[in-house]
Amino acid sequence: MKRHLTGLVLFLTTVLCAAPALAEEPVKVVVFPFSVYSAEPLPQLPAVIAENLKSGMAREGAAATVADKALPEGPLSARTVAEQAPGADYGVWGSFSRVGDRYSLDVTVMPLSGAEPPWSVYTEGVGMDSLSGKVGELAASISNRVLGIRKVARVVIAGSKRVEPEAIQRAIKTKAGETYRESVLSEDISSIFGMGYFEDVMVEADEAPEGIVVTFTVVTRATVRRVSVSGYRVLDREEVEQALDISRGSILNQARIEQNMGKIRALYRAKNYLNADITYKIIPFENDEADLEFIISEGDKAYIREIRFTGAKAFSEKKLKGLLKTKEKGFFSWMTSSGSLDPDDLKMDAARLTAFYHNNGYVTAKVADPVQTVKGSSIEISFKIVEGEQYRVGTVDISGDLIAPAPELMKKIKIGREKVYNAEILRADILVLSDMYSDAGYAYADVSPVTSLDHEKRIVNISYAITKGHQVTFEEIRITGNTKTRDSVIRRELAVQEKGLYSGTALKRGLSNISRLDYFADLKVDTAMGSSDDKMILSLGVEEKPTGTFSFGGGYSSADNAFFMTSIGQRNLFGRGHTLNLQARIGGSSTLYNLAFTEPYFMGTRLSTGIDLYRWEKEYDDYTKLSNGGRLRFGYKLTDNWRIGWSYGYELADISELTEYAAASIVQMEGENAESLVSFNLSYDSRNRFFNPTKGNYERFTVDYAGGFLGGDIAYTKYTLEGGVYIPLIGDLVGFAHAEGGYIRENSDGILPIYERFYLGGINSLRGYYWDELSPLDSTGAEIGGNKYVQANLELLYPIIKQVGLVGVLFFDTGDVYDNEEDIDLGDLYQSWGLGVRWYSPMGPIRLERGFPINPPDGVSTEGRWEFTMGTAF
């Protein structure tokens, strides 16, 4: 930074001259009464002006007094004035002249030392109301001069090519008309540098008759003409460029360049290139432009070669390593993340180790932050552990506000059954007790474990102190965001109600019920205190999503050849929770139309009702079947998960177009055949959602009875049992196991048609086989269906793109169908495997899967086949 010599001398002179004076005594000024020239008599004005000048100068730091009488007229010398003002440094006098409303003040200031000549100060104004302000300005001007204070006359900005001078003026504190201060100039230089546009800033301070002229000269930074990156190999160019925030037209700023180098370095660290070196080069061009090049030297990828534990004696190194998410590089590192360093995982690993020790009785164990040592391409991780002693569980008791006898509450907690202290069990006990109190209405109950360590006996004594607070009732349940769904549809799923006691378990169950409706894209829950501390307001915010579907699909089967399926449905008809679905399946040899309606809460009760109407025409090899029928359905919700259902169905089937090869059982059914059927089912379902669930299970047992006392030509009894469970495995990986089986027998008073028997094959049974391809055969080789079957499916599901609901599936299917004479042989089942994707798209659910038979029957290919089903929302 440059500063003009004049400015420096002025500053030093001011400081050196003023400091002794300030140290010794203030500057003394005597103000003499002013002469007044006015047509209107103003006898008090001379003394008033003098007093105002004295007060104004005193505020500025000068010791001013007012003389008793005015100076004599005529020329005055410093000696003459000094005689009238003994001990004073300066004498001040002057005149006030007034013509009409206008006035002027002519002031003379004389240094009484005789070393300097006197000087004059002049001002004028309009109206006597402004006189006080004008006198104050004169006092400030005189004080600054006699005290050695200098004012800034003007501020000049030079050298700025891109930034307007006014913008720089706004950034600095030095202003024209204000007191000149050297210290402020340093702050101003920092402020100008802080704008980020300048390479260098210089300041000069020159004395002029009107004050100090301050000049800031700036050197503008170059602008970026082009940004380039070289030396990258592991990263894509786009990946690096997206991380940078310097682009064409940016100002070349050293701090910003360093920040961007840090961003590139962070990209490489995320990929374990810990030795990556990032430098830059600036290539100047004309017109203050420059190219900026980031130069990358990637180095080798670093892997975790060793994880060490110091101070660990109670547990083996293998055991401790198994707790960590951070792993050493192994044989399968190319397909896993083992050996990679993730700082967040490493930090959590220290917490995992600490929790493990605390859960195994080492109450005082401490795990320090892991130390990383990088040696070339090797990373060593070291955990320092102070284990301490292992503590057993001592006494356990419960105190405070008890809602049940202490022994009864003690049965609910598990910590007393542990051999050694376990912090995880302690936390679980807190939740158990909190839930008990919550379900009794004590929403704000506090369960605080008080632990005391007996170091001599190495035991932990535990006392659960409970403060139950008030019993809380739901004062109001507010529902917002349901622009379509009626409040009653949401409220009936809740297990809590207004004016009822709070229950945490019931509230969670109700929220799960609402989520499983699958009417809403989002559900937000908030609780707040009501009109008093024993009342609560429950707010549910929902976001509606499309519940109408238009679905279609297609495929090929040995029975139907090519076929096309479509359906249009609404799961929340008119916002009342009703379900309406119209389905059509049109194939080369089969046509099906079906209409279904369901009321899940008939007249507000747990009873559900429904009706199905259908028309189905099916062309078999040796006959054609045309069915018209319907079914009345009823169900009752026993609990949130258990349901029972029953139904009555009636079908009129016309068997026609028989060939000479038709089976005897079909020949005797030629013409119309009536089927009267009752069905009973018991089901359990705890899945968290119906499409792509991640946890929960379902089971269903069904019995169908046709004929007998119900009448009709068809008579049989059918039993089917089905179950499935979804198990979260590792991370987002979910396992699914499904099994089902069935048995059907012909009743003595009617016929069991082959189309009511069991067949396997297709997307919902054994994938890779054609629909109904697995079936017992009659003597002519025709598929006649089985009297019993077993089927099992195993799946691994993993979200490919979690945000959009795209899930990949790897599956294994097995099963077979048997006639009456065959026994089920679980060791000899048909099998298939395959993979596919499932997507809950904006158009609706989509499944696309390819199965490959493993041990197909003779004549069936192992090449596999694709099957799909799709849907679209409206």
- Domain annotation covers residue 644: no
462 and 486 assigned to the same domain? no
107 is a domain residue: yes
Q: What is the pLDDT of residue 335?
A: 60
Which pLDDT score, from 0 to 100, does residue 422 have?
A: 95
Directed axis angle between helix 45-60 and helix 131-146, to 10°? Answer: 50
Tell me, yes or no, whether 138 and 54 share the same domain.
yes
Q: Are residues 408 and 437 in the same domain?
A: yes
Write down the pLDDT at residue 12. 31
Strand pairing report for 561-573 and 198-208: unpaired
Edge-to-edge strand ranges of the sheet holding 223-230: 223-230, 289-297, 277-285
Does residue 190 lie within any of the structural domains? no
DSSP 564-631: EEEEEEEEEETTTTEEEEEEEEEESSEEEEEEEEEESSGGGSSEEEEEEEEEEEEE-SS-EEEEEEEE
Q: Alpha-carbon distance 242 to 240, whole Å?
A: 5
pLDDT number for residue 874: 38
Res 561: pLDDT = 57
338 and 277 in one domain?
A: no
Same structural domain, 412 and 481: no
Of the residues 116, 146, 176, which one is the last residue of a structural domain?
Answer: 146
Is residue 787 within 8 Å of 802, Cβ to Cβ? no
Looking at the structure, tell me whether residues 316 and 360 fall in a common domain: yes
| Domain-ending residue, one of 245, 277, 297 | 297
- Count of structural domains within the chain: 6
Are 869 and 778 contained in the same domain? yes
* CATH number (domain holding residue 271): 3.10.20.310
φ and ψ at 272, to 5 degrees?
70, 25
Q: Which of 297, 330, 347 is the last residue of a domain?
A: 297
- State whether 415 and 517 are in the same domain: no
Whether 260 and 282 map to the same domain: the answer is yes
The upper half-sphere exposure of residue 38, i.e. CA atoms within 13 Å in the direction of its Cβ, equals: 21
Domain limits for position 237:
223-297
Count of beta carbons in the 10 Å neighbourhood of residue 290: 16
- pLDDT averaged per 10 residues, the chain (length 874): 36 36 66 91 89 87 87 86 89 92 92 87 90 88 81 88 88 87 87 87 84 89 88 87 86 86 91 90 86 90 91 94 88 69 88 95 94 88 95 95 93 92 95 95 95 94 95 96 94 93 93 90 94 95 90 55 76 93 83 94 92 90 89 93 96 90 78 95 90 90 96 95 95 94 93 90 90 81 87 95 87 95 92 92 75 89 80 42
Residue 607 lies in a domain: no
CB-based contact 278:294 (threshold 8 Å) = yes
Beta bridge partners of 576: none
Q: Is residue 463 domain-shared with residue 417, that is, in the same domain? A: yes
Residue 745 lies in a domain: no
* Domain annotation covers residue 816: yes
